[in-house]
Amino acid sequence: MSSRKQLSDLQIAILRVLWRDGEASVAAMQEALRGDDRELAHTTVATLLTRLEARGIVRRRTEGRQFVYSPIVGEDEVRRSMVSALTDRLFAGDPSALVHHLIDEGAIDAEELARLKRLLASKQRKQGGGRDA
């Protein structure tokens, strides 16, 4: 598990804009984030993007007199890494303990539970497992 994918809420918000738009300048990013009840300085956004670039999460190119950033790392990879870290830290690396917690806390309704059962059955078939799901 790569620690380079552990991100703050603001870094995730920046990446969501890049995943949605494909690329953005610092000014465009600042404007896009303004809708999240944030008033970020241009320098703050630029610093965050520079740090993400240094970590190999985004890349930049020059367009005129400004930098334009685009994501290198996809949303699925970030999600996988962050969920893995959460599972490691809070559930001693046991994904079934995470799922058990979500079910016990009522975060999964009956419709979602049925969908998860289908997903588990499909995964089990792909792995050539039995019918214990």
Instruction: Report yes or no on 26 lying in a domain.
Output: yes
Q: How many domains does the chain have?
A: 2
Q: Confirm whether 107 is domain-assigned.
A: yes
At CA 1, angle to CA 114 and CA 83, rounded to 5?
A: 30
pTM for this predicted structure: 0.77
Instruction: Please state, in angstroms and rounded to a whole number, the distance separating the CA atoms of residues 53 and 57.
Output: 6
3-state SS record for 4-54: HHCCCHHHHHHHHHHHHHCCEEHHHHHHHHHCCCCCCCHHHHHHHHHHHHH
What gap in Å lies between CA 130 and CA 133, rounded to an integer? 8
The tens digit of pLDDT for each residue in 32-87 reads 998 756 788 999 999 999 999 999 999 999 999 999 999 999 999 999 999 999 99
Q: CA–CA distance from 81 to each of 45, 51, 58, 96 (Å)?
A: 23, 18, 16, 17
Cα 86 from chain centre: 12
Same domain, 54 and 96: no
pLDDT > 90: percent of the chain: 64
Residues of the domain holding 61 = 9-71
Residue 100 confidence class, pLDDT cut points 50, 70, 90:
confident
